[in-house]
């Protein structure tokens, strides 16, 4: 199974080629201002690193947001175009899904015993204006019976085998999010990842104390993890045709909000 993954929603954009649970090639673009002009050049460069061609792809995965509006439009437009030209299905991955997979301890392409010491995995990303994008997953520990059925206690199971979504992607003012979490989760332990988890780390520590753990180095989505989550969705047949692909806008853009105020 071969996947091309596109990440264009943050400061650094990237392309990843993925094959059979392994990253085969990655290319990162630091200057997003020229990324739209260099996309085809980057695609040409990255396919030189693998012994197969774009026509051999099984699907195209793209981060559909939330993220920068210009970047979202660019990534979704590129995925649509490639899907149409190559006649391949497309896979929608959100920024928070990619960050959750990265923070979960999933070791891509390696057999390992999955160790996750917290009850919940919470992804928080900065939505500006004192707001955050939030989603929560619950970790399911392996039972002894399940462990005995695995050779040498090792597993290739991926993120979706062990983490179940318990609160879907939502836009919250941070204060409201904190109040909601304190009332709903009074004994559970958390692993917080994402840009807002780092930004509001002091407030989260004060609210949850020892129940809160952080991975501050996991702040922005990465094309490798867009590919990893996309591969799971491909096996679950959660793909779409190119003309069904849409960016995930959680609120109007600044330009749209300004226009609406002008009409008011």
Instruction: Identify the residue with better confidence: 110 or 96.
Output: 96
Q: Give the strand pairing for 131-139 and 212-214.
A: unpaired
Q: pTM for the whole thing?
A: 0.89
Buried b (16+ CB within 10 A) or exposed e, 137-154: bebeebeeeeeeeeeeee
pLDDT in tens, 159-181: 888 899 999 999 999 999 999 99
pLDDT in tens, 30-83: 765 666 677 888 888 999 999 999 999 999 999 999 988 888 898 999 999 999
What pLDDT is attached to residue 258? 47
What pLDDT is attached to residue 69? 87
All domains of the chain, ordered by start, with CATH?
2-95+220-263 (3.30.420.40), 97-214 (3.30.420)
- Where does 111-200 have alpha helices with state H? 144-148, 159-162, 174-184, 195-199
Residue 242: which pLDDT band, with cuts at 50, 70 and 90? very high
pLDDT for residue 18 is more than 90: yes
* Mean pLDDT of the region 119-142: 92
Phi–psi pair at 253, nearest 5 degrees: -70, 165
Average pLDDT of the chain?
Answer: 87
CB neighbour list of residue 178: distance below 8 Å, 6 or more residues apart = 203, 204, 207
Phi–psi pair at 104, nearest 5 degrees: -75, -15
Tokens coding 210: 């020892």
């Amino acid at each position: 199974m071969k996947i091309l993954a596109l990440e264009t929603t943050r400061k650094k954009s990237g392309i990843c080629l993925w094959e059979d649970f392994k990253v085969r090639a990655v290319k990162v673009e630091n200057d997003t201002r020229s990324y739209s002009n260099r996309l085809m050049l980057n695609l040409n460069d990255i396919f030189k690193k693998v012994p197969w061609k774009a026509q051999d792809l099984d699907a195209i995965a793209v981060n559909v947001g939330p993220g920068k509006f210009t970047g979202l439009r660019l990534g979704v437009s590129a995925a649509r175009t490639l899907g149409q030209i190559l006649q391949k299905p497309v896979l929608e991955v959100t920024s928070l899904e990619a960050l959750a997979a990265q923070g979960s301890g999933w070791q891509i392409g390696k057999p390992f015993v999955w160790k996750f010491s917290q009850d919940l995995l919470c992804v928080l990303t900065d939505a500006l204006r004192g707001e955050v994008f939030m989603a929560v997953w619950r970790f399911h520990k392996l039972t002894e019976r399940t462990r005995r059925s695995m050779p040498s206690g090792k597993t290739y199971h991926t993120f979706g085998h062990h983490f179940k979504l318990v609160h879907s992607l939502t836009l919250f003012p941070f204060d409201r999010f904190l109040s909601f979490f304190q009332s709903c989760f009074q004994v559970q332990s958390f692993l917080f990842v994402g840009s807002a988890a780092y930004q509001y780390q002091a407030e989260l520590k004060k609210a949850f104390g020892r129940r809160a753990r952080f991975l501050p180095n996991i702040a922005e989505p990465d094309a490798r993890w867009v590919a990893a989550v996309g591969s799971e969705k491909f096996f679950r047949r959660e793909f779409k045709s190119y003309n069904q692909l849409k960016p995930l806008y959680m609120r109007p853009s600044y330009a749209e909000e300004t226009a609406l105020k002008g009409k008011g």
